[in-house]
Structure 1
Amino acid sequence: MTADSFPLERTSRPLPDDERSAILADPGFGKHFTDHMATAQWTPDAGWHARGVGPLEPFTLHPSAAVLHYAQEIFEGLKAYRHADGSVWLFRPEANARRFARSARRLTLPELPEEDFLDSVAALVRADAAWVPAGGGEQSLYLRPFMIATEAFLGVRPAHEVRYCVIASPAATYFSSGAGGVTLWISTTYTRAAPGGTGEAKCGGNYATSLAAQLEAQAHGCDQVLYVDSAEHRWLEESGTMNIAVLTSAGELVTPPLGTILEGVTRDSVLALAADHGLTAVQRPISVDELAAGCADGTITEVFAIGTAAVITPITRFLGEGVDITVGDATAGKTTLALRKHVLDIQYGRAADPHGWLRRVV
């Protein structure tokens, strides 16, 4: 990857070193942002143009900008990891670039070439390399590429002016419990997606509609929501911010099939690593009844969530209307923690990378 196609204009007002160091000591998640952003613009006549990295600054949008009225918008999430030698690496950014293109097609936005996606992310990380935390505490630099329809008009059609941007935020672990385990609320009130909808796209509308379900989960003392299918309300789909997988006593790693769920990069990585842990990867429907019965009789031994932010997070309990399921002994499972360590060790350069998933940028 090169950053040549996204030339850098450095900010004249970077955050002072001492203030940045204080932030990196305790970054939280999504609370602080680096000094620069990468941007590009698109129109039908000029295509993608005006690429560059410049100071982080607010956008100016006309009140009729299409994104504000018709939610024509997509985004991605990936991380930059600092290794022990000080180098900085990305994890499978090509997979994010391809998913970004698929989301663009679904939202009728222009597809950003894969090389532009990769170059823009690399250019921003290089510009703000000082913001990449040390990796000892599972900290990283979270990267948020996104695309919005900026054309000023009122009318339901694909916009003819679009803006692409990448911003970055130093991040600690997503859940305060870390690897200790979370509880999910199985919602039968809200559904995330249906066949033919936007479930496979990473677009803001999916997350806006998830907020009510997330509040429902919190009201019942849960960390996140777990969605079931929209037709029968019995088949597990995914959590509000994560894919889900179960481990069985027969040595299977089972995760719901694609179709109405997001094709997670970490999910795909875990499926690829399953054999290294003596597991057979299976993609098939899992019902709430199977989950309950399996956890009760021991045929389901561990359950975990999977995502860029969550990495692999053990799920120790499920609640819902008439549902109370405890997974195993309500503690993080041994194989879940081994898979989690395996993924993190690859990302931080502590384990071999036979799949060629890492891409150095600094």
Structure 2
Amino acid sequence: MTLRLGLTSDIDFAPLFFPLEAGWAGLPNGITTRTDDPARLEKALLAGELDIAPVNPVLYATHINSLSLLPYPVKATDLASDSIFFISTQRPDQLDEATVAVSPNSQTGEMLLKILAAKYYGLNPKPFPVPSEASALEALQGQADTCIISGEAAMRAAGWAKAKGHFVEDLTKAWWIMTGLPLPTYLLAVRKEWTRTDPEATNLARSLMVSFRRAIQSGVEQRSTLLDRASHKTGLPVPALDDHYRLQRYELNEGHLRGLLEFYRRAAAQGLLPQVQDLDFFPSLTPLAATPAPPPRRSQPEQPRPVANPERPARPALERIQATEAPDSAEPETTTPEPEAAPGTPRRSGSRRAAVRAEAKAKGLRVIRGGKDTSGSPGSEDDEES
């Protein structure tokens, strides 16, 4: 049997999928692909036309009985995603109720706004479904007060909306400010029926994860080509795209897991989603730990790094390192006198003249300074000229 994989040409996924499409990283035998926009791929996955495809966290929660998650990769950031924007013609605090234009590609953004609305914005949103991201922007002309834009359309629309004087908010950043947790915006879902019926499912899934790792690495190695293609398609400047892609994370870490489960907990508490007690992965997360980990960071740099802002507080990681190296109790600083130089050896801290005096005294000769015999004077050993 084969694995039917869904890919998207949405430029927000370029570092993940473009290297596969361009042939920079090959796919294992037995895997066929279909390229479409994210909403259509999700429908094809639920219809049994695909076996693995990217899905938003909301769709996974509503179909958790029929879907598992691939442990790698995910699409996430540690702070702001720069790809799910809440755009309003007025500031949200000036709106008691707001009609929100939202497309099928913005399910996660819609759910985020519902979770954040009352506590974070003081807003009661009323969804206004539209067929596409472009339709959501058009609705701002009179049909809706606000809209939610995701993916490639959001990357293009944010600058336009700010230039128009609209309120623009990255919803994943607002989520992070409220909870202190990151939120994966896309997951790779696997049909459970395929995992049960295809005897090669486990091997194919593992091979696919290896291909994804190679694809992401090849994208890093050929970043200029990837950025040029993305810029040509979107019209966005290369530096902006470079900054956007550098924010993206593909490894599923503890913070992403906690953020995702907290997202489900809050949505369930408001009656927006069914309860999600745990996440079901295929294959399990245990084999993934065997992949080579990046080398540990040095606790002490070879050369001190320049300080860009001396008033900026120390980073937490640095504070932890310093704490482990600090003594248990602070001792008053003491100065240990330098040991006496051996006869015939000049002192490191004294002058040449002081060394000559020490040598003369060691040989029993009289030392005359300023017309006075100081050979036996108390403290004469330390009375050195500078």
TM-score (norm 2): 0.28
Structure 1 or 2: more helix by fraction: 2
Structure number, greater radius of gyration: 2
